[in-house]
Amino acid sequence: MKRRFIALGVVVACAAVAVIALIYKNKNQDMENNPFLTAYTTPYEIPPFDQIEYKHYLPALEAGIEQKKAEIEAITSNADEATFENTIMPLERSGEILNKVGSVFFNLDESNSSPEMVEIAEKFYPLYSQFSDEITMNDALFERIKHVYETRNESGLDHDQIRAVEDCYKQFTRNGALLDAESKEQLKALNTELTNLYLTFNKNLLNATNAFEVVVEDSARLAGLPQSSIDQAADEARTRNLGEGKWVFTLHAPSRLPLLQFADDRDLRRQVYEGYTSLASSGEYNNYPVISKILLARAKKAKLLGFENFGSYMTDNVMAKTVDNAENLLMQIWRPAVNRVKEEVAEMQALADTNGDSITIEPWDYYYYAEKVRKAKYDLDESEVRQYFALDNVRNGIFSMAERLYGVKFTEMPDAPKYYDEVTVYDVTDAATGEHIAVFMTDYFPRASKRQGAWMSEFKGSWENEDGTSSRPVIFNVGNFSRPSGDTPALLTLDEVETMFHEFGHGLHGMLSKARLRSQAGTNVDRDFVELPSQIHEHWALEPELLRTYAKHWKTGEVIPDELIAKLDASSKHNQGFTTAELAGAALLDLRYGRLNPTDSVDAQAFEKEVAEQLGMPSQLTFRYRSPYFKHIFGSDGYASGYYTYLWAEVLDTDGFELFKEKGIFDPETARKFKENVLEKGGSEDPMVLYVNFRGKEPSVDALLRHRGLDPVADVKLGSKSGK
Annotated catalytic residues are 503
* 3-class secondary-structure state, position 247: strand
Q: Rounded to an integer, what distance in angstroms lies between the CA atom of residue 455 and that of residue 438? A: 18
DSSP bridge partners of 471: 463
Count Cβ atoms within 10 A of the Cβ of residue 591 and give its class: 0-12 exposed, 13-18 middle, 19 or more buried: buried
Cα–Cα distance measured from residue 569 to residue 214, given in angstroms and rounded to the nearest whole number: 35
Give the chain's largest Cα–Cα span: 85
In terms of DSSP H, where are the helices of 541-596? 544-550, 562-570, 576-595
CB neighbour burial string for 645-669, b if at least 16 within 10 angstroms, e if fewer: bbbbbbbbbbbbbbbbeeeebeeee
Cβ(489)–Cβ(554) below 8 Å: yes
Do the beta carbons of residue 135 and residue 90 sit within 8 Å? Answer: no
d(CA 269, CA 260): 5
Map 285-311 to HEC letters: HCCHHHHHHHHHHHHHHHHHCCCCCHH
Within 10 A of 182 (CB to CB), how many other CB atoms are there? 8
Using alpha carbons only, give the angle 687, 310, 108 rounded to the nearest 5 degrees. Answer: 70
Residues 6+ apart with CB under 8 A from 82: 143, 144, 145, 147, 148
d(CA 137, CA 10): 12
Q: If DSSP codes are grouped into helix, strand and coil, which group holds residue 284?
A: helix
CA dihedral 576, 579, 580, 585 (to 10 degrees): 150
**What residues form DSSP beta bridges with 242?**
none
Helix, strand, coil distribution of the chain in percent, nearest 5: 60, 5, 35
Buried b / exposed e over 236-271, threshold 16 CB at 10 Å, is: bbeeeebeeebbbbbbbbbbbbbbbbbbebeebbeb
* CA of residue 435 relative to chain centroid, distance: 29
Query: Which of 422, 426, 445 shows the shortest CA–CA distance to 491?
Result: 445
Name the β-bridge partners of 456. Answer: 2, 477
The alpha carbon of 296 is separated from its chain's Cα centroid by a whole number of angstroms, namely 25
Contact in structure between 109 and 121 (CB atoms under 8 Å): yes
Helix (H) or strand (E) holding 90: helix 89-92
Cα–Cα–Cα angle for 362, 632, 513, rounded to 5 degrees: 130
